[in-house]
Amino acid sequence: MLQPYRVALLPGDGVGLEVIAEAVKVLEALGEVGGPTFRFQTGLIGGAAIDATAEPLPAESIAICNNSQAILLGAVGGPQWDTKRPESRPEQGLLQLRQRLGLFVNLRPVRVLDSMLPFSALKPDRVRGTNLMIVRELSGGIYFGNPRGIFAKNGERMGVNTEVYREHEIERVAHRAFQLARDRRKKVTSVDKANVLESSRLWREVVERVARAYPEVELGHQYVDSCAMALIDRPASFDVILTTNMFGDILSDECAALPGSIGFLPSASMGEQQYVYEPIHGSAPDIAGRGRANPIAAILSAALMLRYSFRLETEAQAIETAIEKVLKRGVRTAEIPGKQRPVGTSKMGDVIAAETQKVLKSARVRSR
Ligand code: IPM
Ligand code: MG
């Protein structure tokens, strides 16, 4: 791939703007020490886009995405847009982007580094060694199924949403999960509610079928309620968790309690071509604009972009190692408990950028 790499930035709303600025800082720091270089183009999404254009995902933003090799997204939403008609809420920008780009798989890695153990909501012995990957189906299920709406019937209104999964939708996301597991600890836990839902029964059947192509990977099934408990009870026992759009949304937020802050968790959304990288935390309107947000999830999302879109494994690992070192030194943002005075968003970005450069330089010295 020719450099500079072309990256679309969709910072969105709230803390999205602040954390994306830090991810960009770290990416640019790579180029300063002879690493890869990037060209950024910024577009609007979410509430910011509604304010400027009346649409949550304007055509210009789609054009910017189509003109890029990867997309880095911040967050969407905020209370000032909550009263808007449902079809023009900020979240629609994100949902439309997923649909337009055909992003059917969402990877949410959850790693609890030893340096994060003190922050975890769980006892260190429970959570130590946790390194799991949620593979969430992203373009189907109850998020998009029809019929949907609020209808009047017999003088009463009813709200309707429908969980729909077609075989090919289950198949393609399942393949991704097994392919990932092959390069990891070779274990897939497929999560459903097959004791109640027909869509889950089909899900299970298709996952079993796909599994036959991956004999080296062990497949287990678990109901979502039981999985929710096991994630707290023995999180380190999971490798790859394969699940639906809705269950994946819920379980991935639950997993944020494992490393102790949702500000640590990145994600990658993939389709056939374009990939979108974003922190899983939202726009956090309560702390937005105050320089308090943790940029680590956004910076880790940038690392995933280097890994999956640009095959820059050394640089991706350099960022991950740098973050581990910085946390070990006790550097923290305000939501992480600790003895040292918390640093602001921008300072955290500075420290990680500098450490990444150091890690990269010493990796080069070693490989000489
Ligand atoms: C997420 C978010 C989104 C989702 C919202 C903002 C639409 O919660 O990415 O997990 O539900 O998918
Ligand atoms: Mg969510």
- For the stretch 278-321, pLDDT in tens is 999 999 999 999 999 999 999 999 999 999 999 999 999 999 99
Give the bridge partners for 135, in sequence order: 107, 242
State in Å: Cα 183 to ligand 1 middle. 27
Together in a domain, 365 and 228 = no
Together in a domain, 57 and 191 = no
Kindly provide the residue ranges of all beta strands, DSSP E only, lying in 67-217, ordered along the sequence: 70-75, 105-111, 131-137, 149-153, 156-160, 187-192
Q: Residue whose CA is closest, atom 11 of ligand 1?
A: 249
Over range 259-284, report the average pLDDT. Answer: 94
Together in a domain, 218 and 145 = yes
Enter the pTM of the model.
0.94
Together in a domain, 73 and 198 = no
Closest residue by Cα to residue 269 from 99, 144, 146, 142:
99
State in Å: Cα 339 to ligand 2 middle. 30
Domain boundary among 212, 245, 262: 262
Together in a domain, 177 and 276 = no
Among 81, 88, 91, residue to substitute to test ligand 1 (most atoms within 8 Å of Cβ): 91
Q: Is the pLDDT of residue 339 over 70?
A: yes
Share of residues in the chain with pLDDT > 70 (%):
99
Over range 96-125, report the average pLDDT. Answer: 93
* Tokens linked to 173: 């996301």
Together in a domain, 167 and 186 = yes
Instruction: State the maximum Cα–Cα separation within the chain, in Å, rounded to a whole number.
Output: 77
- Nearest-atom number in ligand 1 for the CA of 278 is 9
Q: Tell me, what CATH number does 69's domain have? A: 3.40.718.10
With beta carbons less than 8 A apart as the criterion, state whether 38 and 27 touch. Answer: yes
Give CA–CA dist 257/250, Å, rounded: 12
Give the pLDDT confidence score for residue 103 in this predicted structure. Answer: 97
CB distance 97 to ligand 1 below 6 Å: no
Domain boundary among 228, 262, 296: 262
Give CA–CA dist 15/133, Å, rounded: 25
Kindly provide the residue ranges of all beta strands, DSSP E only, lying in 115-217, ordered along the sequence: 131-137, 149-153, 156-160, 187-192
- Nearest-atom number in ligand 1 for the CA of 94 is 7
State in Å: Cα 249 to ligand 1 middle. 7
Q: Residue whose CA is closest, atom 12 of ligand 1?
A: 249
Together in a domain, 190 and 213 = yes
Give the pLDDT confidence score for residue 122 in this predicted structure. Answer: 94
Structural domain including 78 reads 1-104+271-368
Together in a domain, 98 and 173 = no
CB distance 278 to ligand 1 below 6 Å: no
How many domains is the chain built from? 2
CB distance 315 to ligand 1 below 6 Å: no
Give CA–CA dist 284/33, Å, rounded: 33
Instruction: Give the mean pLDDT of the chain.
Output: 96
Among 10, 89, 94, residue to substitute to test ligand 1 (most atoms within 8 Å of Cβ): 94
Together in a domain, 73 and 155 = no
- Nearest-atom number in ligand 1 for the CA of 245 is 12
Span 166-224, pLDDT tens digits: 999 999 999 999 999 999 999 999 999 999 999 999 999 999 999 999 999 999 999 99
Give the pLDDT confidence score for residue 118 in this predicted structure. Answer: 87
Enzyme catalytic residues: 143, 193, 225, 249, 253
Together in a domain, 71 and 144 = no
Together in a domain, 253 and 118 = yes
Query: End-to-end alpha-carbon separation of the chain, Å?
Result: 24
Domain boundary among 262, 288, 322: 262
Span 226-249, pLDDT tens digits: 999 999 999 999 999 999 999 999
